Amino acid sequence: MEDCTEGYQYYVAQFGTFLIHPTLAPAPITTVCWMEYDKRTYLQSRHYVSGISFNRNWTSYRDRFGDIYKSIDIDFWWGIDNAYYLTNSKSYNLVVQVAGQDYTDVGNIVYKNFVVQKESNKFAMSYSSVYIVPLDQIITLSMNGSMTLSNGAPFSTYDQDNDQSIGNCAAVHSAGWWFNDCTNCNPNSRLWPGGNSSRLGVDDEFFWNDGLYGWSAWATALWFTR
């Protein structure tokens, strides 16, 4: 199957690891799928209780880290190379989900026609538009602007500084991301359990400035849908 959407008819409501083979990929790729609702192909999953660091080098973000074979609940990054193969084989949306206290979902931010370029272009990403699927309307209706600065930006890690800042945004925020100068969000930084008004105000923590400026997350997830 090319992606988790295609596998839905065979694995209805299943959640786990599957082999997919996007058209451009040279070989099948192991990924985490949720064969329900929006038929998710996961890029990232994080929980504050995990000990897995997302302060990784370029090679780790390109290839993958986190042992998805061990547990579907473990934190992982699927690999930007895999995202390149997938998003250039068909049209996909990227969904960003942020969870609050006790893992209560706040809402999903959907980036339509999300595309990741190849490594020679530093895995730059772009999207055409954004909309919100609110689960907490008070919070999420204003969350859609945080990735505006990242639209068109290349990916950066502490050992590959591709941003437009005079400093190294990935090194400052201790995570790889599509930084520009730098950005208004970083779902790959350190999670700190809490909720509203619980941010520590330190550089290496999770932040999503539009709608969640002073708010800390318990978990984040990113996935692709068709």
CB atoms within 10 A of CB 5: 20
CB atoms within 10 A of CB 166: 6
Residue-wise pLDDT tens digits, 110-161: 999 999 999 999 999 999 999 877 665 555 556 777 888 899 999 999 999 9
CB atoms within 10 A of CB 51: 5
Determine the average pLDDT of the residues in 195-213.
Answer: 74
**Cα distance between the two ends of the chain:** 14
**Out of 115-124, 186-195, 210-219, least confident range:** 210-219
Which residue ranges make up each domain of the chain? 4-225
Three-state DSSP state, 103:
helix
197, pLDDT greater than 70:
no
Residue-wise pLDDT tens digits, 59-90: 999 999 988 877 666 789 999 999 999 999 99
Q: Is 72 exposed, middle or buried (0-12, 13-18, 19+ CB in 10 A)?
A: middle
Tell me the CATH architecture of domain 4-225: Alpha-Beta Complex (3.90)
CB atoms within 10 A of CB 19: 12
CA dihedral 126, 129, 134, 138 (to 10 degrees): 100
pLDDT at 49: 66
